Each structure stands twice: as C-alpha cells, then as structure tokens.
C-alpha cells in the first residue's frame, strides 16, 4: 500500500483550515455575550433572540427564499427544454450555441446587473419583485443547460421511440422514459440555481427595488453602520441547515451493500 507523504496531509489540512476558519469564527462570535467582534466575552444566545426579533432580516430572508425557489424552478424548466433542443442540433450549430450560452456565465455580474437595470428602466418597468425574478431566471438558465446537456447526450432515443411504438403519447413517453434519465442533471441544475439565486448580491442590487430587499442587499446596507451579530447568528443557522442536509443526503441508503 502506498504511503501518503506528510506534506500532502499538511497541505490538505491547511486548505480545509483556509476554507472553514472564517466560518468557525463567524459561528463562535454568534454566541458572544458582547457586540464586540474581536474579543469573545462570554457565551450568550441573545443574538439568536435578536435575530427573530429583527423584522428586516427575517423579511429579507423570506424574500430571498421566495425568489430563489421560483427562479430555480422556472430556470430548470426553461433550461431543461433548452438542453433538449440544443442536443438535437448539428454539431456546428450546437457548439456555437453552447459558446453563446457560456457568455453570461463568464461575464462580469456588474455588467449583467447594470445592463438589466437599464433595460428595465428603458422599458419603464418598475424595479421590484418582478424584475428581480426575471433577472435571476436569466442568469440561472445557462447553469441548468450546462447541467442537463451531458445527460441529453447520453440519452438512448430508441427507448423513447419504442415507447411511442407501444402506444404511449409523446408526453407520457417523455415523463416515463426520457425524464428519469435526465433527472440527475435536472436536480443538479435546480440545486445550483437555488444556491446561485440565494447567494447573489450584485445582480439583485441593480434589479430590485426598495420594496423588495433580498438578504444580501439588506446585509450590505447594514455594513454602512455597525453590523449586528444577529447577522452572524443567521449565517450560522444557514450553514448548519445546509450541513445537516448534506449529511442526510450522503447517508448510506437502506439495503445498500457496503463495498468490501
């Protein structure tokens, strides 16, 4: 058996420390008895109490979740259908289309956000929930297409055609034959869209109005003053929830055989 060089373990440890040390500090200070961000003065849950008393933070979180859920669902539907269309194109046109779709993904978000804001202003569309939802769907669709497209390329068209020959309608054959094969890519695109939408700040900043602030925009406005540690508490709760969900998702399924 090959022995791992000590440097590899050290490198891995330093990498994990670099990634998770800021989160650890954030969580620790969410229990700080004082508002001091540099000195831990004692254990307290008061910042978690203040979090649930803060209407601005709770409402902003709800707004972010609403936009993230709706935009990810809409983007997944549009992106999945788009991936199916692209998969049927000739190689030359398919490659050209993929390159065009890649542009919004590598483009600077400030350019995307500013251009969308100017478009909405030009069309006299008031900034708010509607414009924010449109913007989030727009920048999520390319990620869904890129997640689903590899699964489209792996599809076996003969099974779909066999279902049609056996009397299935195109819609029924798609749901029962095609969609199950696409589902891993669809779920991946859905989760990525949800995460991107919930995490976004720059595009949200330019495309939302004062009546519908998202969590990132609200926290940014707090940085102009002293950010309360209730923001740490909210971030800690979000991290713990995601961590628990990942743990549950990676638990061995019942009846799954262990590799010997």
Q: Which of 3-17, 39-53, 237-251 has the highest mean pLDDT?
A: 39-53
Quick check: 170 pLDDT over 90?
no
Helix, strand or coil for residue 211? Answer: coil
Q: Which of 120-134, 151-165, 209-223 has the highest mean pLDDT?
A: 120-134
pLDDT tens readout for residues 184-207: 999 999 999 999 999 899 999 999
pLDDT more than 90, % of the chain: 42
Lowest mean pLDDT among 10-24, 48-62, 161-175, 222-236: 161-175
Identify whether the C-beta of residue 205 lies closer than 8 Å to the C-beta of residue 127. no
199 Cβ partners below 8 Å, 6+ apart?
216
The whole-number pLDDT of residue 256 equals: 54
Identify whether the C-beta of residue 99 lies closer than 8 Å to the C-beta of residue 110. no
pLDDT tens readout for residues 18-77: 989 999 999 999 999 888 888 888 889 999 999 888 888 999 999 999 999 999 999 999
The whole-number pLDDT of residue 142 equals: 93
pLDDT tens readout for residues 97-113: 989 988 888 888 899 99
The DSSP result for 152-183, as a single string, is: HHT--HHHHHHHHHTT--HHHHIIIIIHHHHH
Q: How far apart are the first and last CA of the chain?
A: 17
Q: What is the CATH number of domain 62-217?
A: 1.10.3720.10
Query: Which one-letter DSSP state was computed for residue 212?
Result: S
pTM: 0.85
Quick check: 17 pLDDT over 70?
yes
The whole-number pLDDT of residue 9 equals: 83
Helix, strand or coil for residue 44? Answer: coil
CA separation for the pair 244, 237 (Å, rounded):
11
The whole-number pLDDT of residue 260 equals: 44
CA separation for the pair 216, 202 (Å, rounded):
9
Query: 88 exposed, middle or buried (CB, 10 Å; 0-12, 13-18, 19+)?
Result: exposed
Question: How many degrees, rounded to 5, is the angle at CA 101 between CA 80 and CA 202?
Answer: 100
Identify whether the C-beta of residue 207 lies closer than 8 Å to the C-beta of residue 132. yes
Q: Of all helices (H) and strands (E), which one includes residue 216? A: helix 215-222
Identify whether the C-beta of residue 140 lies closer than 8 Å to the C-beta of residue 75. yes
């Amino acid at each position: 058996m090959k022995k791992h060089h000590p440097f590899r373990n050290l490198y891995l440890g330093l990498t994990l420390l670099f990634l998770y040390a800021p989160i650890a500090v954030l969580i620790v200070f969410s229990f700080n008895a004082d508002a001091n961000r540099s000195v831990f003065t004692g254990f307290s849950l008061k910042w978690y109490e203040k979090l649930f008393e803060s209407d601005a933070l709770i409402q902003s979180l709800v707004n972010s979740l609403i936009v993230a859920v709706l935009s990810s669902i809409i983007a997944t539907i549009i992106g999945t259908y788009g991936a199916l269309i692209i998969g049927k194109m000739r190689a030359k046109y398919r490659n050209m289309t993929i390159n065009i779709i890649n542009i919004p993904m590598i483009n600077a978000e400030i350019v995307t956000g500013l251009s969308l804001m100017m478009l909405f202003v030009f069309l006299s569309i008031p900034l708010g929930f509607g414009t924010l939802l449109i913007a989030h769907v727009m920048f999520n669709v390319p990620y869904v297409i890129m997640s689903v497209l590899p699964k489209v390329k792996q599809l076996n068209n003969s099974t779909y055609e066999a279902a049609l020959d056996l009397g299935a309608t195109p819609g029924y054959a798609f749901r029962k034959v095609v969609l199950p094969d696409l589902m891993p890519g669809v779920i991946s695109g859905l989760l990525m869209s949800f995460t991107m939408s919930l995490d976004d700040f720059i595009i949200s900043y330019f495309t939302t109005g004062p009546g519908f602030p998202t969590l990132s925009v609200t926290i940014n406005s707090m940085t102009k003053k002293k950010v309360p540690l209730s923001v740490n508490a909210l971030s800690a709760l979000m991290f713990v929830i995601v961590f628990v969900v990942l743990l549950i998702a990676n638990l061995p399924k019942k009846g799954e055989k262990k590799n010997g």
